[in-house]
Structure 1
Amino acid sequence: MTGNRFPFNIPAFRHGINLDLPTPVTFFVGENGSGKSTLLEALAEICGFNPEGGNRDHYREAREDRSELAQALRLSWMPKMTEGFFMRAESFYNFASYLDSVSNFMAYGGKSLHQQSHGESFLALFQHRFEHGLYILDEPEAALSPQRQLAFLRIIHELEVPRHAQFLIATHSPILLAYPGATLYQFEEEGIREVDYHETDHYLITKEFLNGPERILGYLFADEDDN
Structure 2
Amino acid sequence: MSTLLFLHDVDVLPGPVGALSLLAGDLDVVVPRHPGFGTPLDDTAQGWDTVADLAQHYLSGPAAELVRAPATGPLHLAGAGFGGWIALEMAVRAPHQFASLVLVSPYGVKLSGPTERDFADILLLDPTEVVELGWADPAACRDLRMPGFPTGLTDSEYEQAFADRAALSRYAWKPFLHDPRLHRWLHLATMPTLVLAGARDRLVPPRHSAALADLLPSARFVDLPDAGHYPYLERPDEFHRLVRSFLRGDAR
**TM-score above 0.5, yes or no:** no
TM-score if structure 1 supplies the norm length?
A: 0.30
Compare the two structures and name the one with the higher helix fraction: 1
Whichever of the two has the greater Rg, that structure is: 1
TM-score if structure 2 supplies the norm length?
A: 0.28
